[in-house]
Amino acid sequence: MKYSFKTVLSILTLAGFAFLTIHSFDANYLGNSIKKIFQHPVLLAAVLMVYFLSFCLKAAAWKLYLNGKAHFSTCLIGILYSLLINHLLPIKVGDLVRAKIASTREPMLKDDEAFHSVVVLRLLDMFCLVGIAMIGLWALKVQFRFPLWLLMISSFISLLVLFTVHHYAPIFLNKHIQLFKKAFSGKKGLFIIACTFLSWLLEAGILYGTVMMLQGDLSFLASVFANSVTIAGQVLQITPGGIGNYESFLVFALTLFGFPVKEGYTIAVVTHALKFVVSYIAGAVVLLLYPISFNTMKEWIKVRRVREK
């Protein structure tokens, strides 16, 4: 039921993107926007660097969570591999490879600990994104209400999953709760949360910078809010890099700040293209630094997905 619900929402989102493309795509307008981007090489380089630094902060948070069992380089390589794979495949399986890279490179780290850490930090990502979105709704006085039925369904599914795991795998659940408590105890936990939160602020820089280069008007706080809404919508990804997903959610977020749909659509396409460029360049670098064969990655994904069923 969970996957069927997600699939329906994903298809509806893609249908919305198709509608936007039919009514808002303008090759000349898009081409001129891309020319404007390259007329600001220094700002473009700064925007891409800030975006890359956001992943460095995510790697720092992961290293802290693993409590000294992994090096920063391992965490960064794993995250960049995950980024590349999620921009190549229609399903988000990059985290499986990310976790396996960590446990393979670090002898002190077990498979289940690596996968546990990735799941927890992904949940922390989502909490940060939702928190940023809530703060944005309040601070920016955005006129929008979440559908009550969506909140009820989400709460029901979350409680059902938690009850199922507690009933059928109490030892597994208790073990990972203890790992969670240990990781987030004291100042270290605050640093993990701070690094994760700041990483999403930096990631919003690519949207803020793109709008600036296109001579648009969007505050940094509004950029952070729009980016958070957009990334949260990526849970519905069924295309490489969330093509269609990303654009649909970002256009929706930008219209809340008065952007015409055509302008919002162009900003979304350009911004997403820049993210693809970074993911492929960073992916090429980590492939050279720590090459992994396609067959090995396929085996890691296959074995883990079978275990999760």
* Residue 91: per-residue pLDDT: 74
Distance set, CA 225 to CA 108, 109, 129, 220 (Å): 39, 36, 8, 9
* Residue 307: per-residue pLDDT: 46
Helix pair angle (111-139, 41-65), 10° resolution = 130
For residues 152 and 130, which has the higher predicted lDDT (pLDDT)? Answer: 130
For residues 207 and 138, which has the higher predicted lDDT (pLDDT)? Answer: 207
Whether the Cβ atoms of residue 268 and residue 246 lie closer than 8 Å to each other: yes
Task: Give the DSSP letter of residue 69.
Answer: S
Q: How confident is the model at residue 308 (pLDDT cuts 50, 70, 90)?
A: very low
* Residue 256: per-residue pLDDT: 87
Domain count, the chain: 1
Q: Which amino acid is at 13?
A: T
Lowest mean pLDDT among 2-6, 47-51, 161-165, 266-270: 2-6
At 178-207, the pLDDT tens digits run: 666 766 677 888 999 999 999 999 999 999
At 24-34, the pLDDT tens digits run: 888 899 999 99
At 65-122, the pLDDT tens digits run: 998 899 999 999 999 999 999 998 877 788 999 999 999 999 999 988 898 889 889 8
> What are the phi and psi torsion angles at 97 (to 5°)?
-70, -40
For residues 278 and 151, which has the higher predicted lDDT (pLDDT)? Answer: 278
Return the number of other C-beta atoms located less than 10 Å from residue 29's C-beta.
14
- pTM here is 0.84
Residue whose entry in the numeric block shows the structure tokens 């109490």: 170
Distance set, CA 102 to CA 213, 262, 303 (Å): 38, 43, 16
* Residue 145: per-residue pLDDT: 59
* Residue 171: per-residue pLDDT: 66
| Structural domain harbouring 55 | 2-308
Lowest mean pLDDT among 171-175, 251-255, 270-274: 171-175
